[in-house]
Structure 1
């Protein structure tokens, strides 16, 4: 596909940014089914948060165009082929991962309304409603904002300028793939949907990974691309689950139990499959210290904030203390990765654990230094659950730069979860 020509000839108008309800991270669908069963009456508000305030989204992106893309998403429904794929495909070795009652609901679902308002140089974009409905806005909303920003920069570029830009970007991706080829035992997946340069570009990157890495490329988090390119859909769960469960807790004791209640429900939902722990929502160290013994038997851990090597060492020590063999456990690194860090972490932990990588923004949106003023550099944009049944949510993370929530609630959560001083690490993406 000649992406540069497609951009130049149509200025992207021929291509809606989000083409399908399954143009989303696979874990959103897995979590949605769990929420559909366990918390069907919980009301949640999601909100867009631009951590990179130097990127003036409301000056770059026309409000009318943004509304047009969001309204298009609201018109989408599951196609027959997509439904067949979800109902009949094998995911993680299990057929019928998605239950009939969930699929019946999903096939008739349309995304609920949104609220959009300009506030200075930024947009306030929120979604409010039943948790299992509004949660499906997160990934498409991020994809729309990221791609509209890309289009704003590309709009005034000429035909040859675009061809050179994409040639350079493709060369950069391919050189990264070549650097990863020689890593023996590498296991890496695409996690780049939410902050991608654009859908066509993510699809190209996945195809390049398929050709360049062969069996070392294990799949993509993007369910639509997984279906079209016939690769594995990759994903388990995210911070959203413990954040909402915790917000619903009425007492400090209930709050302290909430992150474990999430995983208990998850275990029941998936009958022992998808047993990857995401421990950093309220601090990895405290989470593992107070974890029930049955969690030590799970398959592995995903490390998504803080110093990744330190996080892996904590996990290894925890498994050893619980009588588990770390060499049989999987550690998935997924925070701000690029080639050098992937190679470093693989060399440090290969043989000690089963090492995997979820490669995100610096795979699907690394245009750093390729246009004047670095106007296509990736930036940190998130869409988070900010309240549940009217109560604010909190995220502490292993990096305080990623923390969110009202100050008094943050202080309470730090007290309940025993979170002390933390090292601040710059959030790039």
Structure 2
């Protein structure tokens, strides 16, 4: 038995995984999904990494929602169905859904099963891989004191900019311990600019509402079921139907923002409180968004853009100054909070690669606004681009 118990709560995950899981159970309970680990940074994994990882996943099967956690969800997330919270109350991770094997220094991994179950694996798995990698390769971090100093210095900059910020750093954190330390400083020093975190477990510990809406897989699945051209629109309509206008931030770059804006009609533009930017030039995107809202006679200042693409204080300063008096920005800061500790952060992702929306497997792709962030089989990416005239 190893001593690497990294995830100690079922809620140590991003909030949008639970909001999507609730929607999946409601609308697509029999859908099946397959995810794949992608080592974008070509990291070299130490011997025995896969074996230790498997042991940790076996320990995760013991995690259960505590009564305190259940009460927290009921109180702070009233838009989650009570039947869904009952489902979560009985939910346990099944390590058999995850296949891991190691060849030399390379790790291969996929996750397969009911979408409503496998949806929760991605974020904690990435957090485990990241923390375990640093432990086994002995990558030492800076001291707690230095981390606290850095976070306070960043907060000073954000306060000066009047920037509203959230913490989105679970998946690529250096460790759980660092994440908790960062969260503590944000809670103590961040008022009134720190609006919350996507991590539900730490939100519960520190008594703050978790934040988040939906991820790319929501739209990717809709493309498998309804085709690329209408995926954005139907995904948004379904989201509205499930949440009645709550959690109203639309994701704008699954099939590039130009395709998104074509789908983001007047009704949806009015109904959603804002949009999330996750790839491509943020200034160019902001201009497009403002133009789009004005076309429908919607005042852009009443709408939000959640920026969440690899943010640093300098990037936030540039975006803030451009958005001033034009549209309302919010910044979801991930790795720069939870893994700015003197080591290289890992460049890894876990993405849905296939789904069975009806009867057979269909490959899914994400096109994004930048080539590096696109995922999926080459032939399917080619088909999607052809279909969308990109």
TM-score (norm 2): 0.94
Q: Distance in 2 between matches of 1:259 and 1:60?
A: 42
Which residue number in structure 1 is paired with residue 207 of structure 2?
A: 230
Alignment of 1:146-165 (within 5 A): 146-154=130-138, 165=143
Q: Distance in 2 between matches of 1:142 and 1:189?
A: 20
Q: Output one character per residue of 1:118-171: Cα deviation in whole Å (capped at 9) or x when no partner.
A: 13422112111100100100111101001101212447x6xxxx7x64433333
Alignment of 1:272-287 (within 5 A): 272-287=245-260
Q: Which runs of 5+ in 1 are unaligned?
A: 1-11, 371-375, 420-429
Which residue number in structure 1 is paired with residue 229 of structure 2?
A: 256
Quick check: 289-298 or 269-278, which moved more?
289-298
Which residue number in structure 1 is paired with residue 82 of structure 2?
A: 100
* Residue 218 to residue 60, structure 1, CA distance change in 2 (3 Å): farther
Q: Secondary structure at the match of 2:120?
A: helix
Q: Output one character per residue of 1:188-229: Cα deviation in whole Å (capped at 9) or x when no partner.
A: 000001111111111111111122221100000000100110
Is the Cα–Cα contact under 8 Å of residues 23 and 242 in structure 2 kept in the other structure? yes
Is the Cα–Cα contact under 8 Å of residues 117 and 123 in structure 1 kept in the other structure? yes
Which residue number in structure 1 is paired with residue 269 of structure 2?
A: 296
Q: Output one character per residue of 1:9-52: Cα deviation in whole Å (capped at 9) or x when no partner.
A: xxx93x62111111000111000000011011011011111110
1:109 to 78, 91, 105: 91
Is the Cα–Cα contact under 8 Å of residues 233 and 263 in structure 2 kept in the other structure? no
- Does 1:45 pair with 2:34? yes
2:175 to 188, 198, 210: 198
Q: Distance in 2 between matches of 1:71 and 1:393?
A: 29
Which residue number in structure 1 is paired with residue 149 of structure 2?
A: 171
Q: Distance in 1 between matches of 2:144 and 2:385?
A: 46
- Does 1:331 pair with 2:305? yes
Which residue number in structure 2 is paired with residue 64 of structure 1?
A: 51
Q: Distance in 1 between matches of 2:347 and 2:167?
A: 18
Which residue number in structure 1 is paired with residue 385 of structure 2?
A: 414
Is the Cα–Cα contact under 8 Å of residues 61 and 152 in structure 1 kept in the other structure? no
- Does 1:90 pair with 2:63? no
Q: Distance in 2 between matches of 1:295 and 1:256?
A: 16
1:30 to 19, 39, 58: 19
Which residue number in structure 2 is paired with residue 424 of structure 1?
A: none
- Does 1:343 pair with 2:317? yes
Measured after TM superposition, the shift of residue 235 of structure 1 is 0.3
> After TM superposition, where is structure 1 displaced by more than 4 Å over at least 4 residues in a row?
none
**CA-atom RMSD, angstroms?**
1.7
Q: Distance in 1 between matches of 2:247 and 2:326?
A: 21
TM-score (norm 1): 0.85
2:238 to 265, 276, 284: 265
* Residue 315 to residue 22, structure 1, CA distance change in 2 (3 Å): same
Measured after TM superposition, the shift of residue 73 of structure 1 is 1.3
Which residue number in structure 2 is paired with residue 241 of structure 1?
A: 218
Alignment of 1:209-220 (within 5 A): 209-220=186-197
1:355 to 298, 316, 329: 329
Quick check: 112-121 or 193-202, which moved more?
112-121
Q: Distance in 1 between matches of 2:134 and 2:153?
A: 22
Which residue number in structure 2 is paired with residue 422 of structure 1?
A: none
Q: Distance in 2 between matches of 1:398 and 1:120?
A: 34
Measured after TM superposition, the shift of residue 291 of structure 1 is 2.9
Which residue number in structure 1 is paired with residue 120 of structure 2?
A: 136
Q: Distance in 1 between matches of 2:39 and 2:56?
A: 19
